[in-house]
Every structure is written in C-alpha cells, then in structure tokens.
Amino acid sequence: MRSLAELEQLKRHAQKELGVRGIGGYCRATFIVHMGTDGIAAGAREVLLAILDELKRLGIHDCRVTQTDVTGFGMKPPVVDVVTPGHRVETYTGVSPEGVRKIVAESLVESRVAAV
Amino acid sequence: MAKVKLTIDGREIEAEQGSTVLEAARQAGIDIPTLCYHPAVGPSGACRVCVVEVERAKTLVASCVYPVAEGLVVKTNSARVRNARKTVVELLISTHPQDCLCCDRNGRCELQALANRLGIRTERFRAQKPQREPDASSVSIYRDQNKCVLCGRCVTMCRDIQGVGAISFAYRGQRTLISPSFEHGVGEVECVNCGQCTKVCPVGAIVEKDETGAVWDALDNPGLTVVVQVAPAVRAALGEEFGMAPGTSVTGKLVRALHMLGFDAVFDTQFSADLTIMEEGHEFLSRLKSGGKLPLLTSCSPGWIKYCETFHPEFLDNISTCKSPQQMMGAVIKSYYAKAKGLKPENIFSVSVMPCTAKKYEARRPEMRASGVQDVDAVLTTRELAKMIRMAGIDFANLEDDDFDSPLGESSGAGTIFGVTGGVMEAALRSVYEIVTKKPLADLEFTQVRGFEGVREAEIAMGSTRVKVAIVHGLGNAGRFLAGLRPGDSPYHFVEVMACPGGCIMGGGQPLSLEQDVAEKRASVLYQEDRNKAVRKSHENIAVRRLYDEFLGKPGSELAHKLLHTTYGERARARVEEARRQAVIGAAGA
Amino acid sequence: MGVLYRAHVLVCGGAGCVSSGCRAVQEALKSELAKQGLDKEIKVVETGCMGSCDLGPVMVVYPEGVFYRKVRPEDARDIVQEHLLKGRPVERLLYHTSQREIIQQMEDIDFFAKQRKVVLRNCGIIDPEDITEYIARDGYEALARVLTEMTPEEVIDVVKKSGLRGRGGAGFPTGLKWEFCAKATGRPKYVVCNADEGDPGAFMDRSVLEGDPHSVIEAMAIAGRAIGSNQGFVYVRAEYPLAIQRLKHAIAQAYDYGLLGKDIFGTGFDFDLEIRVGAGAFVCGEETALLASIEGKRGMPRPRPPFPANEGLWGKPTLINNVETYANIPPIILNGWEWFAGIGTEKSKGTKVFALAGKIANTGLVEVPMGTTLREIVYDIGGGILGGKKFKAAQTGGPSGGCIPAEHLDTPMEYDTLVKLGAMMGSGGLIVMDEGTCMVDIAKFFLQFTQDESCGKCIPCREGTRAMLDILTRITEGRGREGDIELLEHLGTTIKDTALCGLGQTAPNPVLSTIRYFRHEYEAHIREKRCPAGVCAALVHYEILQDKCKRCGLCRRSCPVDAIEETTEAELVAAGVGAAGADMQAAGASQGAISQPASSPKRKPLFINQERCIKCGVCMRECRFQAINRC
Ligand SMILES: Cc1cc2nc3c(=O)[nH]c(=O)nc-3n(C[C@H](O)[C@H](O)[C@H](O)COP(=O)(O)O)c2cc1C
Ligand code: SF4
Ligand code: SF4
Ligand code: SF4
Ligand code: FES
C-alpha cells in the first residue's frame, strides 16, 4: 500500500460488493421481484436474472435485487417493484425479460432525479 | 550515585538512588524481616514477608523490591504491616510439616526464626497438604519438597548464578513445587551437584546428602583402617559452625577433633593439591611445548567438570586430565599408603572432608577406582563434620592444636590457597615459573590473579614466553566465559575454573553464609596460612618428592597416569533428551 | 470481481456457532444453492460472532436483513427454496420474543437494537478472512491518516483526550500509557496485544479476533507509530484456535497489501507483527507474566515497578493493551476524540462489551455505552431472568470481581462505580444469578478458580486463597464456626493488601462482596446449618410431608441406601427429626385419622433417616404425590 489514494480506490471498489449488506451507504434502487408461485410460473425467475444481467452489463453496483412472495391481487405477473430513494415505489406488471432493460434505465434516471 | 531523601518510620533518611526500601531501612538500623530475599540471589518479591506501608500506595509493598524515591514516606511497623506479615507467615506455616524436631535445619531455620520473631503462637489455618516422597536420587543433595516454602532462592541460584537450571517452578496454585523437568529426581537431570542451592535454602528442603551414618559405622568397625583427608577450605570455615568468628583458622583444632573422633590417620588434601600442581604443571608445559590443546582448563572442581561435560562438551579436550586433589589423595592412600602399611585397599575406609557436595558425586564416578576399589569411600561436607563433632560432644572451640599425620599430611603454602578462587592458578604459576625460567621467583604472591571478580585475567612473563591466564568462578560466569571462547583458538593458555562463586571457601558444603565479607575473611585465613608456611611452592614439598622417588617415578609417568589422571565424557542433557522423547511419543500418537 | 451477488447470506462463524454446528449448515446451504443454480447470484459469507450465541447457529440474509436462529443443516433447503428463491422468509427459523412475537429483522430484536457497536462494529457483518471487506468499512484509513497526516504526539493526544481506558480489567487511561511508552528511553520498543482472555465466560476478545482481526492489527500499527515501535506481538491463548487462524490469515493479508512490513503507505514506517500462543493459564493474562511467557519463561508475575512501559519485553519499553482497547483505536482516530468522549459517562468513555451469561433469557455478547445501567442490560437487552424468576445478583469482572445485588440494579456500569460497590469491570464478564443461587456457593466457586490458577509465587495468594477456600468449604458443608465470617474478612483484606499481582489482590473480591451484601446467607449456613437457596448439598434435607404421603412406598423402594424407614407415629414423634419435621409429624399424628389414606390403612408412616440419606433426591423425583420436600 503506497498511499491514501490507493486505499480509497480499493475501498470504493470493495464497497460495491458490500452494497447488498447496506454497507457503503448509498443504494440507487431496489428491484423487488414478486416470486410467488404464479410469479415463477409466469417467468419471474427469468426476469430476476435479466435484471442482474442488465445491472452487470451497465457496471452498476449500487442497486439491490430482492424478492418477495406477495403479489397484489389483480396484477399480471411477473411483477417488479422498484424502490428508489425517498421511498418512491414504481410497480411494473407483466414484465418480460426483454422489458427489463427499459425498467432499469427508467429507474436509474428516476433515482437520479429523486436523489437531487 | 545520586542520593534521595525519604522518611522511614518518621525518620528522614538518605539513600542511594536505585536502592530498595529494604536496603535503605537496614542501613538506618531498621531491620525489616525477609524470607525470599537473600543477598546472594537478589530480591524476587515472592514471599511478601517484607511488606511495608508506603504513603499513597494502594496496597502494602514489598520493601525488598520497592525502589526508594525522593519524598517517599514509609512505615515499617504499623499495625497494618505487623498484621499482614504475621498473617502471611501463619499462612505459610499452615501447611508446613510439623516435624521441626527431626529437621536438619532445626535451630538454624529461617522460618522458625521468622515465626518466632513475628510472635506466632497459634495456628489459625492448619491444613493438610498431600505429602511427597523426598527426592533421594542424587548422591550429593537431598530434597524434601514438603518443607519447601517456595521462596525460589534455589531456582535463582541454580539458573541465574550457576547457569544450570536443573530445578525450576512447576505447576500452579497449591500444587506448585520446585522440581527438575518432568518431575525427575535431581540426580537424574543436569544438576552438577554444586550444592549452592543447599546454601540458600532458608529451610531444610534442600540439604546435602548425609553420609555421617556411614562414617560412624566405619569408625565403629574394628576391621577397617579409617583414614581421613581434609580440604584446605574446611579449616577456613569450620569454626563458624561453633560460633567462632568468620576468618578464624581452626586447622590444629580440626586435626585434633578428627583424631578424637577415632580416625586412624588424618591427612591433608593440601598434600595432594601439591601433587596436582606437579602433574598439572607437567601437563601444561608439555601441551605448551608440543602444541597440545590450549587453553588448559583446570579440573579440581567436580561440579565444573560435570557442567562442562553436560553443557560444553566441545571443551572436554581442554580440561586437564589430572584428577582433583581429593581423588589423587584417594588413589595414593589405597596404593602407596596401603603398600607402606601392608594394608589391603578394601580394608581401608577412606573419608574426605570437603567444602563441597559435588565431591560426593565425584568419589562415586566409575573412573575413580584406580586402586581397584572405590578410592574415596565417603565424603563429608564441612557441615556434616561439624554435626559429628557436636554429636561426639567435643568442645571444639577449646581444643588444643594437633598435627596432620605423615606421610600424607605435609603441604606447601601453594596447596593451601587451592581453597580460594585464583589459588590453583597462583600455585601452578609458582611452580611453572620456576620450572620454565629455572630461576627462583622473587615474589611468590601473584596478586593479579587474586580477588573476587567473576572473571579475571593476567599475563605473566616467563622468560621469553608470556603466559596468558584467566580465572573464572561460578558456573554462570564459566558459561559466559566459554561462550566467548572457541576451543581451538583462544588468547588464553591456562584457565582456572571453580564451580562455586568464590571458590571452595564458599563451596556448597560450607557453613551457610554467602556474604561477600565472609568470603573475604575465609580467603584471608588461607592466604595467612600460606604466608606462615616454610614451604610455599608445590614442587618443594618434600613428601611429594618422596612419593615420586619411592613410588610414582616422574610426573606424568605411567603409574602417575594410572593413579592420578582420568577421562571425561559428554553427558546427555535430561531436558533435551526428554523433550525429544516426548516429541517422538507425540508424533507416534498422532 | 465484477459479479454482483444479489444476496449475501452471512453465517456466524464465531467459535460459539462453530461449536453448535454452523459449518455443517454452511455446507448444506452452499450445496443447496448450487443445486438450485443460485450460487452465482448468492454469496455465502462466514463472519465473526454476531453476539447471540445462545441462538446459534445464526445467520442473516441480506439485503433484507432477515435474521435466522438455531438453523440446522436440514433447514438449508427451505431457506434457499422459500426465501432466496421465492422471497418467503422461513418463519419457523425467525426470532420469537418472550411474548411469542415474531421478529424478522436483526435490528428490530431488542437484544441487538439496544446495543451500540463500536468495538464490534464489523463483527458479524464482514468476512474476517477478506481484508477488502474490512477496507470497505473504512479499514486502515485511520492508519493511513496517522502515518500521513499526524505526528505521534498528535495521535497520543487524541487517544488521551478521547478518555479511553484499558479494557483488560484495571481501566488504566490508555493515552497516558502510550505517552509513558513514547517517553521511555530504551530501544527497541515493543507493542503487545493481550489476547489471553483467561476470565472464564468472557469471550469478547476472541470475538473481535475472530470477527474483525484487522481492527487489532491496524490499531497495533497505529500504537507502534505513536510510541516509536516497529515490532508487535499478539499473545493469544492456545484454546482459541479459530482466532489464531483468522488472525494469522489477516496478518498475512495485511503483509500482502503492504499494510504491515516495510515502508507502510510509503511513509518509511515499518511494522512487523507476530503471534505468540500462550499455554492458557489465567495468570498469563497478567501483563508481567504474559511478557515472561513471550520471552519463553514461566508465566509468573513479577513486582512492578519497573512497569512494562519502561522495562517490558527483554527489559525494553513495552506497550501492552487489551484486544478490546485496541479495537477502539481506529474509530477514535477516524471520528475524532470528541465523538468518542461523547459516548459513555464522565469518567468512563465509549462503550463496553459484556459477555452475558447465567440465568438470563438472552445470553451472548452485548456492547453498550458505558454507564448503561445493569437493569437495562439484564432486562432490556438480556430479556430478563429465565423462567420468570427473581433477579438476585450479577457478578461482574469474573473471578476478580464482585456481585451486585438487586438493590443496585440501577447502577451505571462504569469503572469507578463498580469498584465502589466492591465489584469491578474486569474484562466484562457478566453472570446473572437468580433466587436459586447460593451466594456462599458462588463465592466458593470463584475462589476455587483463583486458587487453582494462582501462579504459586506469593504466599498470600497461594496459601491465603486456599485457607479461605477451606473456610468456605466447611461453611457450605455445615461445619462452619462462629467467627468464620470475620476470619474470611480478615484473610480477604490481608490478601488484597499483600499479594504480588492483580490475581491475588482481587481473588478475595467475590467472597468479600457476597459477605457485604448477603451476610445473612453466610450466617444461615453457619448458625442454622441451612442453605437458604437450597444449593449446598450437605445442608439440604429431604423430608416426607405426612399429610401428602399416601404411603405407597415407591420412595422407599427407590432409595439407594435404604434411608427411608417405616415407623410408628409415636416413634416418629419421639425421634423428632428437626423442628420442622417434628411439627409436621405432630400435625400428621393428630390428624392421622383424617389424612390416613383409605387404601392403605395398615401401612405405617414413612420417614427419612437423615443420617443415612445421601441427598441424591431420587425419592423426591419418584414420588407421585409431591409428598417429599427439599429444604
Ligand atoms: C490475573 C490477571 C489476569 C489478567 N488477564 C487479562 C487478560 O486475559 N486480558 C487482558 O487484556 N488483560 C488481563 N489482565 C490485565 C493485564 O495485566 C493488563 O492490565 C492489561 O492487559 C492492560 O491492557 P489495557 O490497559 O488495555 O487494559 C489480567 C490481569 C491479571 C492480574
Ligand atoms: S546442586 Fe548446583 S546444579 Fe544442582 S540443583 Fe543445586 S544449584 Fe543446581
Ligand atoms: S527448596 Fe529451599 S530454596 Fe528452594 S524454593 Fe524451596 S525453600 Fe526456597
Ligand atoms: S498474587 Fe497469585 S498469581 Fe499473583 S504472583 Fe502471587 S501467587 Fe502468583
Ligand atoms: S523478602 Fe521481600 S518479598 Fe520476600
């Protein structure tokens, strides 16, 4: 270790990893995929993987992806809730893996707006 | 040294910076009781008998380790202090065996004195401790752990001053004890039998192995001729056992007492000391001439020999092959003397009185049977002889003088000073000088080699040769000295080593005193006797010359070699051995 | 890197959980994840102790922060399939409060919620074997600042002003100690970490080493810079293999990252760190004994002065601090002394970790601000006394400490207050006792420990603790004498006043403090030969309640020593076994006709021959009518 700057860099890098544990503070958005039985039947798992892929493709680490088993009545599965700072919740229904890219993009723009 | 002012018991006292409260108090005439502290081994703060009250300290402090400081206010005799000391000693004696009447140290025990001084008259805490078998494994020392007060003096002596470390603390709590590694007997480990531990033990937990019984038996046996030899250091200290002041010479009384005890002949180990110089001087000169191993290391101290065999076997070839004076005398008695008297060696019981416990062990080395039987049958320490004299009801202090018997009772002043550190070297130099230079010495007293410095060195011009010598005493010093020496390559020609700090006068079998001024007084006895002698050089001892003429031939002759020289061998170190064994067992188990 | 795990499962890998089987759980979890194809999205991390050891094995699933307790390998399937796949937390593994309320989030559980983590800030949150996780949590930033922006004097000044005091027991001001070492003239100097932790029941130091070893490494390097030392030693007891392994690993990593070794942060500062493993004797935690032990000698204390700060390891100036003390250092440097001094009380700053044990609902490690009351710890965090019993006392400071009775429940836990009460902070052991505890017995228990662990060097400790133990033993065995309490007090104060080291100087505390608060219990043992808590076997009696006894004879058949005998009522009265017994029997005799069970009119009453009875209690367990009483 040669300098404080080097340590800082290492730290930032490491913190991305630990974002999941709420370490390193800031979380841009949380994607909650509804994984009830009907959700899974409708392809929720593929949607979840697609979100992960998309985040990875964009190199974004300060987002969380979690799952829940409740699906609101009358909503068309798969359902994804996106929670952004300020506890704004956006709910997407009938999501397909292909639609994920748009949701991610929107949410991150949203969150940026919200964060300001 | 800077001075500080402190107040002890209301008196303002000046003491040297760096000294302890105990020292300061004693200097001021206030005697604080101690137990674990002994001037020869230094303080350890273990027993807490010496506690005093120091203003602003949270608890009482041990005065033997507490440094003086400017403005310190000390109370040595408050109720709090008296109560604490008394309770501590009461606790100590609560598990102590109650067989004082049968103890070797009865009447001279520091614990008895302490209990008495602190006014202990009841036992509030008596408890039974599991008793342990005494350790009788050594031929020199006898340990009764039940009496041990765990003051640690012996451990410090053995480890720090003698550099041996044969005994140490083991276990914890109530099970704490002093023991050689793995609870071996002290005779089974690297103990070198020096007996210094017996001199610091405040109680009867480490004492010399008693041989008075065997000697009484021999004296009572009409079929045996019982002869005795006495080492030089004995006469310089025996008087102390009978209340005489340190520094009193008791040579004549000693001989008289031995005659009274019934010994058939009383010989002087100083005779064989002269003989040793003849042989060792011869050996030194031939090594010097023929380019033999140098430096030559002296061999009169059996504790040192065992130490070297155990810890520094790389120097064994440097040690003189000469036996010690005790063993030379033993061999001569059972050969030359036996022949002269028409006695069979096995009908002679040969006793020696020594300042030394290691001699007990030396006498039993398998090499020491030149006459075909054990050359020296029993070895008494100065302390044991005193016991016999007391037992026989002899009023020692008022005895008339008597003379040693011939032919082995004659000695030179050189033989006399063997008993003090530097003495062997001085004796050797007196003879070697004259033999090398073929000129008489102008001044016999080599004061450069005298004194009590742990390691001393001197350079003596002998004609064209300059002989570089060193004198070392105390095995800790010896160890450090050897560590700085390489066997083949050293500036020294001749080195005297004595196991006991101070030499034989302070040997492990001497009356219990390790104070420096006592050492000096005992030394002065020997130097005075030397000065009083008509003959002061070993090679001028007529009786020794006669021994060569009539019997041995020349120094270094074949017969001399057979009777007066010996061999050494490397000794395993118990701890190392045991550790290895344990490792093997461990590995096998895993 | 580069893989984003959507979830982290943190499995507690503290020694407590390891012994309750967390390794098997971890394995099961990993194989189940692999089976479900989730191993690329979900990461399993072994952390240090999370503190709630009685609930172990425990785990937390992030990002939700769901806390599972008492997880068995069989549960792995449900956790993966239900929770990690479908987002349904496995309810049966969640924490239940005593009111049967289910709590999902770790931070909502009282045990965790009421704590304030400074020392344990990373324990249970990061992977102790991954230095980058420590770095992510600001690790080594304090060291970087110390080396690049601060002078040694400034560092010492910050530590001094923070008010931090040694957590190893005595509470000596840490900054002052650092200053002494910095001013000492000998060279080289050494930095030592005391991780001997011999106090039975304490395990905060172990948890820090297991869960956050880098915090200690970083702090020791900071200390090295502050006092001018380039060599450190961590002295860990051999009984802590996991701590040793994690620490070893962490030291190696720190060397790899250039955070130990030569020229740290390019500042020219070198610091080397070695582990020394101790044989695990309690006394080796005493600083001078510890130093002797590092030097390869027998671990025996020596008198001070000279203090280690001036003459320590190999006679050189040596700084010795406790693990927990060190763990406080990096946050103090990073957050400033004002921050630290803002926590706690006037004379005791910061937090303290306690090891809660005994008759309390939640046991484990808790970290609270200094000055938190005993009541808050016992009731709010500890969940109160087990089985709804009454609190009797708490022992703080382990075998060196003392007890705090119920009337002092509102005592703030801080150094000086505890000492005033005859207890002490010690290393932070906190044993809670309920009404069923005999205080004489407890005192005896602790004294037995110290007398076994006495190094044997000094007389007051070696012989004095034994003498006290002898007296306590006879009291608990019904052979106590008038004057024994006073003798104990006399011995106790003398030992405290004369012993060489802290072990002996504190050994009488448990006895003196129980005498102080529960003298009547001692008196009951001595005068009435009665153990009020019914613990001391020799003082316990079993007796048959004649009015409840059906004379079925079951007890009589089960007694291993035939101590239960038949007798006539007249004989029974004549025998008069104890006042209580006689009363009972008298009552039984007068109402004999009424209480005589119809089924066995001819059977004679039974009674227990007290001389024969060995107090095994079998009769009481066998009796189906609760007719046997223990008192
Ligand atoms: C018998 C005894 C046992 C001790 N055990 C420990 C221990 O296990 N850990 C510890 O840190 N300090 C222990 N100490 C205290 C140390 O001697 C020393 O005061 C401490 O390590 C200093 O560190 P601190 O100032 O950070 O507390 C013990 C003291 C005594 C008398
Ligand atoms: S006789 Fe000498 S070597 Fe042997 S134990 Fe005693 S002091 Fe040590
Ligand atoms: S044997 Fe003697 S000197 Fe050695 S510790 Fe015991 S009492 Fe002290
Ligand atoms: S107080 Fe106990 S542990 Fe400490 S030195 Fe004395 S005997 Fe040893
Ligand atoms: S003489 Fe001072 S402690 Fe023993």
Taken in order of first residue, the domains within chain B and their CATH numbers are 3-92 (3.10.20.740), 129-203 (3.30.70.20), 212-564 (3.40.50.1780)
* Best residue in A10, A17, A37, A56 for a mutation probing chain C (most C CBs within 10 Å): A17
Checking if the pLDDT of B170 tops 50, the result is yes
Mean pLDDT of B9-24: 96
> What chain C residue is nearest to A27 in terms of C-alpha separation?
C63
On chain C, the residues whose CB falls within 8 A of the CB of B176 are 454-457, 462
Provide φ and ψ at C470, rounded to 5°: -55, -45
pLDDT in tens, B84-139: 999 999 999 999 998 999 999 999 999 999 999 999 999 999 998 899 999 999 99
Q: Does C472 touch chain B (CB under 8 A)?
A: no
Checking if the pLDDT of B35 tops 50, the result is yes
Task: Give pLDDT, residue C51.
Answer: 84
* CB B563 within 8 Å of CB B370: yes
Mean pLDDT of C441-466: 96
How is chain A split into domains, by residue range?
23-109
CA of residue B151 to ligand 3 center, whole Å: 5
CA of residue B277 to ligand 2 center, whole Å: 28
B210 closest CA partner among B301, B141, B137, B108? B141
pLDDT band for A113, please (50, 70, 90 cuts): very low
Neighbour tally for B499: CB within 10 Å: 31
The whole-angstrom separation of Cα C419 and Cα B384 is 57
- Measure CA B72 to chain center: 40
pLDDT band for B586, please (50, 70, 90 cuts): very low
B502: left (phi over 0), alpha (psi -120 to 50) or beta: left
What's the one-letter identity of residue C109?
I
* CB B349 within 8 Å of CB B378: yes
Between B222 and B586, whose confidence is greater?
B222
Task: Say which range, B238-242, B575-579, C241-245, has the weakest mean pLDDT.
Answer: B575-579
The percent of residues above 70 in pLDDT, for chain B, comes to 96
* Burial of C610 from C-beta contacts in 10 A (0-12 / 13-18 / 19+): middle
On chain B, the residues whose CB falls within 8 A of the CB of C300 are 169
Name C297's Cβ contacts closer than 8 Å, sequence gap at least 6.
none
B178 Cβ closer than 6 Å to some ligand 2 atom: no
Between B89 and C84, whose confidence is greater?
B89
> What chain B residue is nearest to C458 in terms of C-alpha separation?
B46
Checking if the pLDDT of A19 tops 80, the result is no
On chain C, the residues whose CB falls within 8 A of the CB of A13 are 1, 132
Angle subtended at Cα B555 by Cα B549 and Cα B561, rounded to the nearest 5 degrees: 110
The token duo for C140 is 């080594």
Task: Output the CA torsion sign for B474, B477, B481, B484.
Answer: positive
The whole-angstrom separation of Cα B270 and Cα B290 is 30
pLDDT in tens, C344-393: 999 999 999 999 999 998 888 999 999 999 999 999 999 999 888 899 99
Checking if the pLDDT of B271 tops 80, the result is yes
Angle subtended at Cα B69 by Cα B68 and Cα B70, rounded to the nearest 5 degrees: 135
Across the interface, whether the CB atoms of C458 and B46 are under 8 A apart is answered yes
Task: Say which range, B173-177, B442-446, B579-583, has the weakest mean pLDDT.
Answer: B579-583
Across the interface, whether the CB atoms of B84 and C497 are under 8 A apart is answered yes
The whole-angstrom separation of Cα B76 and Cα C30 is 71
> What chain A residue is nearest to C256 in terms of C-alpha separation?
A1
Decide: helix, strand or coil at residue C237.
strand
Checking if the pLDDT of B82 tops 60, the result is yes
The whole-angstrom separation of Cα B67 and Cα C31 is 66
Q: How many CB pairs lie under 8 A apart between chains B and C?
A: 107
The whole-angstrom separation of Cα C528 and Cα C531 is 9
* Burial of A86 from C-beta contacts in 10 A (0-12 / 13-18 / 19+): exposed
Checking if the pLDDT of C564 tops 80, the result is yes
Task: Count CA atoms within 13 Å of residue C219 on its CB side.
Answer: 29
Task: Give pLDDT, residue A64.
Answer: 82
The whole-angstrom separation of Cα C611 and Cα C631 is 16
Task: Give pLDDT, residue B197.
Answer: 97
Task: Give pLDDT, residue B258.
Answer: 98
**Element of type H or E holding B143:** strand B141-143
Name C190's Cβ contacts closer than 8 Å, sequence gap at least 6.
C229, C231, C232, C233, C312, C313, C316, C317, C318, C319
Provide φ and ψ at C422, rounded to 5°: 85, 5
Task: Give pLDDT, residue B463.
Answer: 84
Nearest CA to ligand 4 atom 6: C458
Task: Give pLDDT, residue B587.
Answer: 41
Q: Does A24 touch chain C (CB under 8 A)?
A: yes
Given CATH 3.40.30.10, say whether it is the number of domain A23-109.
Answer: yes
Checking if the pLDDT of A73 tops 80, the result is no
Task: Give pLDDT, residue C494.
Answer: 98
Mean pLDDT of A12-20: 79
Task: Give pLDDT, residue B212.
Answer: 97
pLDDT band for B38, please (50, 70, 90 cuts): very high
The whole-angstrom separation of Cα B131 and Cα C212 is 49
* CB B171 within 8 Å of CB B345: no
Task: Count CA atoms within 13 Å of residue C70 on its CB side.
Answer: 8
* Burial of B16 from C-beta contacts in 10 A (0-12 / 13-18 / 19+): middle
On chain A, the residues whose CB falls within 8 A of the CB of C139 are 11
pLDDT band for C591, please (50, 70, 90 cuts): very low
Task: Give pLDDT, residue B585.
Answer: 44
**Residue B206 CA, closest ligand 3 atom number:** 1
The percent of residues above 90 in pLDDT, for chain B, comes to 89
Which DSSP symbol is given to B345?
A: G
On chain C, the residues whose CB falls within 8 A of the CB of B150 are 456-457, 462
Catalogue the active-site residues of B.
280, 283, 300, 320, 359, 362, 367, 504
Q: How many CB pairs lie under 8 A apart between chains A and C?
A: 106
The whole-angstrom separation of Cα B226 and Cα B405 is 13
Task: Give pLDDT, residue A26.
Answer: 63
The whole-angstrom separation of Cα C359 and Cα C383 is 11
Task: Say which range, B7-16, C80-89, C123-132, has the weakest mean pLDDT.
Answer: C80-89
Task: Say which range, B287-301, C196-210, C573-587, has the weakest mean pLDDT.
Answer: C573-587
Mean pLDDT of C58-71: 89
Across the interface, whether the CB atoms of C451 and B83 are under 8 A apart is answered no
* CB C68 within 8 Å of CB C55: no
Instruction: Measure CB to CB from residue A15 to each of C87, C136, C259 and give the nearest one.
Output: C136
Q: Does B127 touch chain C (CB under 8 A)?
A: yes
The whole-angstrom separation of Cα C399 and Cα C508 is 9
pLDDT band for C3, please (50, 70, 90 cuts): low
Instruction: Measure CB to CB from residue B48 to each of C281, C465, C500 and give the nearest one.
Output: C500
Q: Does C435 touch chain A (CB under 8 A)?
A: no
Across the interface, whether the CB atoms of C467 and B125 are under 8 A apart is answered yes
The token duo for A52 is 């992960």
Largest CA distance in chain A: 59
B357 closest CA partner among B317, B301, B395, B281? B301
Mean pLDDT score across all residues of chain B: 93
**Residue C324 CA, closest ligand 1 atom number:** 26
Checking if the pLDDT of C570 tops 80, the result is no
pLDDT in tens, B454-499: 999 999 998 888 999 999 999 999 999 999 887 667 889 999 999 9
* CB C275 within 8 Å of CB C247: yes
Neighbour tally for A107: CB within 10 Å: 24
Across the interface, whether the CB atoms of C63 and A23 are under 8 A apart is answered no
Distance to chain A for C139, nearest Cα, Å: 8
- Starting at the earlier edge strand, list the strands of the sheet with C231-237: C261-264, C269-278, C231-237, C190-195, C318-322
pLDDT in tens, B453-462: 999 999 999 8
* CB C73 within 8 Å of CB C24: yes
Ligand 1 lining (C-beta closer than 6 Å): C 166-170, 172, 194, 196-198, 282-283, 285-287, 320-322, 325, 427, 501-503
Name C145's Cβ contacts closer than 8 Å, sequence gap at least 6.
A4, C333, C334
CA of residue B165 to ligand 3 center, whole Å: 14
B82 closest CA partner among B115, B36, B51, B113? B51
Distance to chain C for A48, nearest Cα, Å: 10
CA of residue B51 to ligand 5 center, whole Å: 7
**Residue C502 CA, closest ligand 1 atom number:** 31
Checking if the pLDDT of C580 tops 50, the result is no
The token duo for C65 is 């922060």
The token duo for B431 is 């003879």
Task: Give pLDDT, residue C602.
Answer: 67
Q: Does A53 touch chain C (CB under 8 A)?
A: no
Number of helical (H) and strand (E) elements in chain C, helices listed first: 28, 20
The whole-angstrom separation of Cα C449 and Cα C426 is 15
Burial C255-269 (b: 16+ CB within 10 A, else e): eebebbeeebbeeeb
**Element of type H or E holding A82:** strand A80-84
* CA distances from residue C483 to B16, B122, C523, C584 in whole angstroms, order as listed: 46, 16, 10, 33
Pairing mode, strands C190-195 and C231-237 = parallel
Which DSSP symbol is given to B71?
A: T
Checking if the pLDDT of C596 tops 70, the result is no
* CB C413 within 8 Å of CB C374: yes
Q: Does C571 touch chain A (CB under 8 A)?
A: no
* CB A38 within 8 Å of CB C162: no
Task: Give pLDDT, residue C255.
Answer: 97
C462 Cβ closer than 6 Å to some ligand 4 atom: yes
Task: Give pLDDT, residue B155.
Answer: 96
> What chain B residue is nearest to C491 in terms of C-alpha separation?
B87
Which DSSP symbol is given to B19?
A: -
Indicate the top mutation candidate among C322, C353, C506, C509 to test ligand 1's pocket, ranked by most ligand atoms within 8 A of CB. C322
pLDDT band for C110, please (50, 70, 90 cuts): confident
The whole-angstrom separation of Cα B416 and Cα B42 is 32
The whole-angstrom separation of Cα C631 and Cα C617 is 11
Point out the ligand nearest to the CA of residue C299: 4
The token duo for C429 is 């052991």
Mean pLDDT of B150-163: 96
B207 Cβ closer than 6 Å to some ligand 2 atom: no
pLDDT band for B52, please (50, 70, 90 cuts): very high
pLDDT band for A36, please (50, 70, 90 cuts): confident
On chain C, the residues whose CB falls within 8 A of the CB of B53 are none
**Do the chains B and C touch each other, judged by at least 3 C-beta pairs below 8 angstroms?**
yes
**Residue B197 CA, closest ligand 3 atom number:** 3
Instruction: Measure CB to CB from residue A3 to each of C2, C257, C266 and give the nearest one.
Output: C266
Query: pTM for the complete prediction?
Result: 0.88
Q: Does B60 touch chain C (CB under 8 A)?
A: yes
Mean pLDDT score across all residues of chain C: 90
